[in-house]
Chain A
Amino acid sequence: MTVMEQRGAYRPTPPPAWQPRMDPAPLLPDAEPYRVLGTEAAAKADPELLRTLYAQLVRGRRYNAQATALTKQGRLAVYPSTTGQEACEVAAALVLEEQDWLFPSYRDTLAVVARGVDPVEALTLLRGDWHTGYDPYEHRVAPLCTPLATQLPHAVGLAHAARLKGDDVVALAMVGDGGTSEGDFHEALNFAAVWQAPVVFLVQNNGFAISVPLAKQTAAPSLAHKAVGYGMPGRLVDGNDAAAVHEVLSDAVRHARAGGGPTLVEAITYRVDAHTNADDATRYRGDAEVETWREHDPIQLLERELTARGLLDEAGKQAARDAAEAMAADLRAHMNQDPALDPMDLFTHVYAEPTSQLREQRDQVRAELEAEAEAGPEGGTHR
């Protein structure tokens, strides 16, 4: 007789029936990227919004050109361009309210500028006189983030904290297609969904992570599909259609603000320029591909729509170009001045109060500077 038999009528309790935790169907992205321009939806778009977007796109394109030129002149150490991606950059900033927060990656200086940050301060990192040039609290823009996707959990934490305090704050975090492979992307989306944090994740799928195309980055049906695994909606949008990106992001921000939790938005766009000025894009892609995307240019798409509807004439175009030119001239003038540097800054902000070890090191640099000053211009700088 076995032990089981001795115990009498043994009936294993069946495990509780498995239930799906939610219906995944409503979370799935559409089969095609959402478009407004050139479709029936365009008729419903607000003319004033379209005009604003147009002016911002023209300004953004000029900003990209100016920053690239400044790099060639040695005024910027490096510049990762968003030429061709201006619709995403501009819309990301415009959909936010004043109290909201933007979490940019290093490529998103245009979004930072569109949010209201002084272009010179936005470019401080890339000029190299400090890391973050602007006060993050002034415009509620987190520091430009270089380690990929690591700013996404920050956006989640900030949005979560604001919600705990009962504040009406949404965080919008920007990342590229390559960044979606990082662990921090996964962890941020998971935390955001579990906490139902008011966050919008904008993935600009610009085709390349430096040289690596999306096919080597993921086997997912689309990046927007990744949302379903976390239990949040995924939206797919034409990233060069400024009206569509604005609408999809606005919906996601509204959803988050209303307590609906996070959304993942994948915007399909294209990095027309190389990764940075230090990159050679001809090593990994052909001119024909780039030309195809030039045909689908965000400014031209919007210009066609506005012109067809009689919302933009030659004078309007000229006004947008003039405003952009004024911005570029101002940026040039400021960036052509050498930044003021203070070597003591090396030690000032490591801790609230410098340690005795840092005070000793600071004194060493101070003594070196004093010796330099004493030696005069003939004496040269310390080696």
Chain B
Amino acid sequence: MTTVAVKPATMAQALTRALRDAMAADPAVHVMGEDVGTLGGVFRVTDGLAKEFGEDRCTDTPLAEAGILGTAVGMAMYGLRPVVEMQFDAFAYPAFEQLISHVARMRNRTRGRMSLPITIRVPYGGGIGGVEHHSDSSEAYYMATPGLHVVTPATVADAYGLLRAAIASDDPVVVLEPKRLYWSKDSWNPEEPAPVEPIGRAVVRRSGRSATLITYGPSVPVCMEAAEAARAEGWDLEVVDLRSLVPFDDETVCASVRRTGRAVVVHESGSFGGPGGEIAARVTERCFHHLEAPVLRVAGFDVPYPPPMLERHHLPGVDRILDAVGRLQWEAES
């Protein structure tokens, strides 16, 4: 058996590799953003790209997010495939008018004559000790905007696959990169990356019979840990990693909930008006007769993201997840 040495790689390295492979495969792919060139990005995800492909392909732009995304729209109109980096979740807000009024709806406005294959990379979420405006979970804004695809990886392999799929997509894709997983490691062979799957499929990360934890991005490892801890309580939890928030994979999610009969949605984003409300409603509408208990949510609180010294009280952790699982009306079982 020929084996290539599979070394542990970080999520950041897999993202870099995805950009590099996409740029090598297609000269239309252009990377642009703040500090992405000479510095290689503040998280080093674009490291080496300007050197390898030139500054016209990996461009340090002026510091203006609306301008970055707005010019990317024009570039895409002319046949390029811009990959835009928004330096931090909360720094992407100035670009929202371009995103909502143009990027998301150009195909629709023009009856499909003009599509914008733009990838918008957004490092998001907390847990890295970031000061104010560096830790937002902004996915609900993107999800509420028709015309955008929204994906978020939880594993090294998915980081590569989802970013490649996003760049290959003829529709605009927001790739939410969990900041605190950038340095997570996994055995992954960059020379033989897994085939790129189309966007829109969730995956069962851990099979179980008692209840389903529906989650994504930075909360996936937390749910996996919770599922291990739950064994001591006699619960065998299933963990579904959504990977794609838009399109939403009703099929995989509902198949799991129908098997287990119980579900908890877990995310860092606030619960009021957050993704969990939509997910719980969808599951309830489709799986009502299979449910033994209401779908519960474990989410960030409905507060502005707290300062770093308080963030552990805000982020959903193992205990809060187990507490929610404990409230899934098990008394009916006995």
Contact = CB atoms under 8 A, between A and B. Distances in A.
B78 interface: yes
A191 interface: yes
Contacts of A142: 77
A355 interface: yes
A160 B112 contact: no
Given A153-B74, A357-B248, A351 B149 contact: yes
A345 B74 CA distance: 25
B108 A352 contact: no
A183 B79 CA distance: 26
B78 A161 contact: yes
Given A154-B70, A155-B74, A158-B74, A187 B80 contact: no
Given A349-B111, A350-B108, A154 B248 contact: no
A165 B28 CA distance: 10
B66 A187 contact: yes
Nearest to A346: B108
Interface string B196-230: 00001000000000000000000000000000000
Contact of A164 (B56, B61, B97): B56
Contact of B73 (A130, A154, A350, A352): A154
A310 B154 CA distance: 77
Interface string B61-82: 1101011011111111111100
A87 B303 CA distance: 54
Contacts of A191: 61-62, 64, 67, 71
Given A147-B97, A355-B246, A153 B110 contact: no
Query: Which of A150, A187, A356 lies at the interface centre, i.e. has the most chain B CB atoms within 10 A of its CB?
Result: A187
A133 to B, nearest CB: 9
B47 interface: no
B113 A137 contact: yes
Given A153-B73, A194-B62, A161 B80 contact: yes
Contacts of A130: 111
A351 B147 contact: yes
Contacts of B75: 157-158, 160-161
A131 interface: yes
By size class, the interface of chain B is 35 or more
A285 B113 CA distance: 42
B135 interface: no
A143 interface: yes
Contacts of A152: 70
B30 to A, nearest CB: 8
A291 interface: no
Contacts of A67: none
B71 A157 contact: yes
Interface string B242-275: 0000111011000000000000000000000000
B324 interface: no
Interface in A45-81: none
B286 to A, nearest CB: 11
B250 A356 contact: yes
Given A132-B110, A157-B77, A352 B115 contact: yes
B9 interface: no
A184 B74 contact: no
A311 B61 CA distance: 51
A187 B73 CA distance: 14
By size class, the interface of chain A is 35 or more
Given A150-B101, A164-B56, A190-B62, A349 B79 contact: no
Contacts of B246: 355
Nearest to A136: B114
B107 interface: yes
Contact of A188 (B70, B94, B111): B70
Contacts of B79: 161
Contacts of B106: 143
B326 interface: no
Nearest to B100: A147
Nearest to A171: B74
B334 to A, nearest CB: 38
B171 A150 contact: no
Given A153-B98, A191-B61, A194-B62, A160 B71 contact: yes
Contacts of B61: 191
Contacts of B80: 161, 164
B109 interface: yes
A183 B66 CA distance: 8
Given A135-B113, A161-B80, A357-B247, A156 B74 contact: yes
A85 B199 CA distance: 48
B80 to A, nearest CB: 5
Contact of B111 (A158, A160, A345): A345
Contacts of B170: 352
A349 B94 CA distance: 26
Contacts of A345: 111
A358 B66 CA distance: 29
A228 interface: no
Interface in A314-356: 345, 348-352, 355-356
17 contacts: A131-B108, A131-B110, A153-B67, A153-B73, A154-B74, A160-B75, A161-B74, A161-B80, A187-B64, A188-B71, A190-B62, A350-B146, A351-B149, A352-B107, A352-B171, A355-B246, A356-B247
Interface of B: 56, 61-62, 64, 66-67, 69-80, 94, 97-98, 101-102, 106-115, 146-147, 149, 169-171, 200, 246-248, 250-251
Given A147-B102, A154-B73, 13 more contacts: A136-B114, A143-B106, A150-B98, A150-B102, A153-B71, A157-B71, A158-B78, A188-B67, A191-B71, A351-B147, A355-B248, A356-B251, A357-B248
